[in-house]
Structure 1
Amino acid sequence: MGRARTFHALHRATPLVTAVALAGLLTACADGADSTGAARTPAATDSRTTGPAATDTGSPATEPGTPGPGTPDTESPVTQSGAAAPRCHTSELRASIGRPSPGAGQRNFPIVLTNTADRTCTVRGYPGAAFVDASGRQLGPDPKRSPDTPTTVTLAPGRSAWAGLSFASPEISGARTALPAALLVTPPDERDPLKVTWTAGEVPVAGNESSVRLTVVQPGTGG
């Protein structure tokens, strides 16, 4: 499927991350960014997502994320039976990192969520994301959210949605870096993360231009 927006639009991407305990790290939300721009974990009560060729399949991580306040969705997609499609739960999704899309001085990656269940479900808003080392310790601060407008994405079995993750190239920004072992991805409005092996090199964790940014989920694989 065609990407709903290109990564070149993520021009404000700036790098990531400081060490934090994993319990309560990952954040995901069904609505917009907070006043600080930092990603927060949404309530695991109401939410709604599809995506290029993925490079890794995710498996549930052993440590859950911490939920925060969320806003119920007013756009409730319906199934062929006429019933509202339920939110996609972590156990029904596979996470992967799609094909990177280099930009001018930045690195852009699609975080792809694929529906592995035999039912249609929905995703909406921002996923949670955190780079971690081999011991599970978070590297750098939580990503910031790009000012996007969330929409509900309906995923039939086997379909995918993606959210953009981007940061300034450390060799250009001069930010301090670390080499993650994995990226933990929490689907919107869920508590439990999916663990995806990170093979794309060092990421910024401190210093100038060290922020990492996330976009809302949208249909497709981002490729």
Structure 2
Amino acid sequence: CSLFDAVPAGSASKSEQQGDTGTGTTGGGSEGGTGGSSGTVTSESGTGGSTSGGTGGSTSGGRTTTQGGSGDGSGSCATSDLKASIGPNHPGAGQENFALVFTNDSGESCTVRGFPGLAFLNADGEQVSFDPQREGSAGKAVTLAPGKSAWAPLSFSNPEMTGVPTVTPDSVLLTPPDQRTSLKIDWSGGPVTATGKASVPKIGALSAGTSA
């Protein structure tokens, strides 16, 4: 598998880390799950590398003109415009389900569209799980006014039910669509699957709000 696509568990402040935008996965969600922890974003030296099905994108820095955007003239959200968090687990039907949330932390509206990147990391900053698979279409552009959020579903098989190999990440990298810098936050969601077969994590496209 290729290394380094990004995402987090818990709230995070802004940081910039080199890394390609990520692959995606969707996740459903049933009611009532275990809580997620908050985490702070820390900056690190870049770790290059593209991921399977990465969104590709503009370099970090200022906003770019939205392609096929919302029509309101907002530019694409740069990583520096956003803060990231991961909602609590909402397990159901043999799945672990989390919401990957990006919140506009700037003073201007900006737009996101498509799949965020995600990579689970160990304490040494090394990727410890396969790149997630995308599910569904890229969806519509979401314009984020200051303080507003968009979320993408992350899901993977319940390791206790499947018996597949697992790993417990220390942190996660989240990369906004069309960006090459990432946000790093602590992961408190427990073990994740560490096999590239049917139980590989899945991620869906961003939509408005903080969860379904």
Whether TM-score is above 0.5 comes out as: yes
**Correspondence for 1:175 among 164, 176, 189:** 164
Q: Is the 8 A contact 1:58 1:95 kept in 2?
A: no
The answer to whether the aligner puts 1:212 opposite 2:201 as a matched pair is: yes
Cα distance 1:65–1:188, how it changes in 2: closer, same or farther (>3 A)? farther
Instruction: Please give the secondary structure, in 1, of the residue aligned with 2:160.
Output: helix
The answer to whether the aligner puts 1:56 opposite 2:38 as a matched pair is: yes
Instruction: Render the CA deviation track for 1:101-134: whole Å, top value 9, x for unaligned.
Output: 1111010000000000000001000000010001
Q: Is the 8 A contact 1:58 1:94 kept in 2?
A: no
Report the counterpart of residue 100 of structure 1 in structure 2. 89
Unpaired segments ≥5 residues, structure 1: 1-17, 29-38, 41-52, 79-83
Distance in 2 between residues matched to 1:173 and 1:141, nearest whole Å: 17
Q: With structure 1 as the length reference, what TM-score do the two structures score?
A: 0.71
Amino acid at match of 2:208: P
Amino acid at match of 1:154: T
The answer to whether the aligner puts 1:193 opposite 2:182 as a matched pair is: yes
Matches within 5 A, 1:42-191: 55-56=37-38, 59=41, 61-62=43-44, 63=46, 66=49, 69=56, 73-78=67-72, 84-191=73-180
Q: With structure 2 as the length reference, what TM-score do the two structures score?
A: 0.74
Amino acid at match of 2:129: G
Equivalenced residues, count = 179
Amino acid at match of 1:181: D
Distance in 2 between residues matched to 1:171 and 1:180, nearest whole Å: 16
Distance in 2 between residues matched to 1:149 and 1:171, nearest whole Å: 31
1:59 offset after TM fit, Å?
2.3
Distance in 2 between residues matched to 1:20 and 1:66, nearest whole Å: 6
Distance in 1 between residues matched to 2:102 and 2:41, nearest whole Å: 12
Unpaired segments ≥5 residues, structure 2: 6-16, 25-34, 59-65
Cα distance 1:27–1:21, how it changes in 2: closer, same or farther (>3 A)? closer
Q: Is the 8 A contact 1:26 1:184 kept in 2?
A: no
Q: Is the 8 A contact 2:85 2:102 kept in 1?
A: yes
Instruction: Render the CA deviation track for 1:53-74: whole Å, top value 9, x for unaligned.
Output: 9853552642255566459621
Distance in 2 between residues matched to 1:134 and 1:174, nearest whole Å: 24
Instruction: Please give the secondary structure, in 1, of the residue aligned with 2:130.
Output: coil
Cα distance 1:21–1:59, how it changes in 2: closer, same or farther (>3 A)? closer
Cα distance 1:190–1:21, how it changes in 2: closer, same or farther (>3 A)? closer
Amino acid at match of 2:185: V
Report the counterpart of residue 12 of structure 1 in structure 2. none
